[in-house]
A and B are shown apart, each in its own frame.
Chain A
Amino acid sequence: MSLVGHQPPPIFRRGPAPLVRLLIFVSLCLAMLVADLRFRYLEVLRQGMSVATYPLQMAAATPADFVRNASVYFATLIQVQIENADLRRKQLDAAEQLLRFDQLERENAQLRGLLEMSQRIGVRSVAADVLYDAPDPFARKVILDRGAQQGIEPGLAVVDAQGVLGQVTRVYPIQSEVTLLTDRNQAIPVKVVRNGLRGVLFGVGQGRLELRFVLASADVQPGDQLVTSGLDGVFLPGLPVAVVGTVDREADAFARIACTPLAGVERSTQVLVIGREVLPPPPPPQEPEAPIVRPRGRR
């Protein structure tokens, strides 16, 4: 302690006390956590710093690439032949559907023209491989091998052959991060195919989904198929998402509806990133309070 103007000699000077330093750093960290998790202010900082760490990340990904490729090298000829035959059969099936789809698309365009309805939204898609699970154990995310350079943007839907898998939440130059449907913070607006009833599907963790905010008296049965409603303006309408598993109407005013995803949410390795041709403008900010109009006049 320095009494009347006595400074400690520089050899003993060690800055603030450890506890003070701890408090400073902890409050800094907490501020960053709030800014990132609540307000998403730090994406710019994250992108900037990720450029610096990028070479290290690339170097670290090499062993994972090696393991991934090694499994391909050691696949036997018979396995490949079986897989090949399977794919041929699937391709034939798909070709037949595709021919009909072409014709239906044309017919649809004509009918829409006749009815003077707006044309359907254009679709663009990018095929991508799932590189690996994101290392963050608190979230259900995967990393794709396509990024901003291939035209991927945050918010696009990610599907596999069976249905919706998740949504792109963060884009790096040549990689992107997809939040899976089963993540706790992921929600997707859906409707029931059978009767068009709308709802929002939430991830609840452990690979399960839940359809929330549907009244207990609503017409939802086990086995109903759920597709995207497209009302959010982000997902394309009509993509298959999940099947209703169990419906519990006793619990609350709302039914408790557990669903299972159709896509191989935590297994798929080849996916398609699809979105609308033009992303809609961001939703308007929350309605401000109606301005109070004061009558002008003399007091």
Chain B
Amino acid sequence: MQPTNRSRRILLPVRLWFIHFSLLVALGLSYIPTGRFPGVPDWVALVLAFWCIREPLRIGMGAGFFFGLLVDIGQGAAMGQHALAYVVLAYLASGLARRLMWFPSMQQALHVLPMLLVAQVLMVIVRMIAGAEFPGWWYFLSSFTSVLLWVPLTYLLLLPQYQPVERDDNRPI
């Protein structure tokens, strides 16, 4: 059987302010100080990947760069570390956007996992070149916990687009 685009519902167009609002909320979540607790999801990377796949024409590497810098500042990391990772992540996600939209969200999550890992590996490489210590293999757990959140996140972020403007039970969509 030929695969079909699995979005079963016709969605409202996304509002640009909602994209930026969700990225800001993710930024706020990433600022929560969790110390050395491993496996804290990278909220900004996840939301950024989501919008790069859903709306590649509106959100891309520019947003990745900007929000990456903000994460760097908030976490006290090297300036440009997260920015670099998120730019590459946005590139990969936008490049695969057309293909990914044909998969159900579970399989989308499997595609997103390597992208998040690539972003993390980039950060490790950059910091280790600069002389930092290896943070341990637990560091990469963050990508896996992030990916587990992909399905609920898809539902949550698409929620505003599910609602029709006026309800009409006789209309087919």
Contact = CB atoms under 8 A, between A and B. Distances in A.
A140 B5 CA distance: 47
A32 B33 contact: no
B35 A133 contact: yes
Contact of B131 (A53, A60, A185): A185
Contact of A33 (B62, B76, B78, B132): B78
B103 interface: no
B94 interface: yes
A64 B33 contact: yes
Interface stretch (B13-21, B80-88, B162-170): B80-88
A191 interface: no
Interface residues of A, number: 47
A45 B79 contact: yes
Contact of B73 (A50, A60, A132, A141): A50
Interface string B120-132: 0000101110111
A135 B82 CA distance: 13
A139 B33 contact: no
B91 A56 contact: no
B47 interface: no
Contacts of B79: 32-33, 35-36, 42, 45-46
A21 B60 CA distance: 10
B91 A14 contact: no
Interface in A17-50: 18, 21-22, 25-26, 28-33, 35-38, 42, 45-46, 49-50
B70 A53 contact: yes
A73 interface: no
B76 A177 contact: yes
Interface in B27-76: 27-29, 31-36, 57, 60-62, 64-65, 68-70, 73-76
B132 A25 contact: no
Nearest to A143: B33
Given A25-B65, A136-B76, A206 B133 contact: yes
A272 B27 CA distance: 32
A31 B78 CA distance: 12
Contacts of A31: 80
A59 B76 contact: no
Nearest to B87: A25
A35 B72 CA distance: 14
Contact of A136 (B27, B57, B75): B75
A131 B84 contact: no
Given A22-B87, A60-B29, A184-B131, A29 B77 contact: no
B27 to A, nearest CB: 7
A22 B70 contact: no
A269 interface: no
Nearest to A65: B33
Interface of A: 14, 18, 21-22, 25-26, 28-33, 35-38, 42, 45-46, 49-50, 53, 56-57, 59-61, 63-64, 131-139, 141, 143, 170, 177, 184-185, 204-206
Q: List 9 A-B pairs, minimum CB-CB distance, nearest first.
A: A205-B133, A32-B80, A60-B31, A29-B84, A133-B35, A138-B132, A36-B79, A132-B33, A137-B135
Given A18-B61, A49-B73, 17 more contacts: A25-B62, A29-B65, A29-B80, A29-B87, A33-B78, A33-B79, A36-B78, A60-B29, A63-B32, A133-B36, A135-B33, A136-B76, A137-B36, A138-B128, A138-B132, A138-B133, A185-B132
